[in-house]
Amino acid sequence: MAKFTRIEVALKMQESGLVPVFYNEDVEVCKSVVKACYDGGVRLFEFTNRGDFAALTFAALNQWAITECPEMIMGAGSVIDEGTAAMYLSLGANFIVSPIVDEGTAKVCNRRKVAWSPGCGSVTEIAKAHELGAEVVKIFPGSQVGGPGFIKSVKGPMPWASIMPTGGVSPTEENLKEWFQAGATCVGMGSQLFPKEVLANENYSYITAKCAEALEIIKKLKS
> How sure is the predictor about 1, in pLDDT bands with cuts at 50, 70 and 90?
confident
Rounded distance between C-alpha atoms, residue 215 and residue 172, angstroms: 11
How many other CB atoms are found less than 10 A from the CB of residue 148? 22
Note the pLDDT of residue 135.
97
Instruction: Taking residues 201-212, report their average pLDDT.
Output: 97
Question: What is the overall mean pLDDT for the chain?
Answer: 96
Note the pLDDT of residue 144.
86
Provide the residue ranges of all domains of the chain, joining segments of one domain with +: 6-218
Residue 223 has pLDDT above 90, yes or no: no
Question: How do residues 33-61 score in pLDDT, each as one tens digit?
Answer: 999 999 999 999 999 999 899 999 999 99
Note the pLDDT of residue 51.
87
Note the pLDDT of residue 152.
96
CATH 3.40.1190.20 for domain 6-218, yes or no, is no
Which residues are CB-contacts of 80 (< 8 A; sequence separation ≥ 6)? 98, 99, 100, 102, 105
Note the pLDDT of residue 142.
83
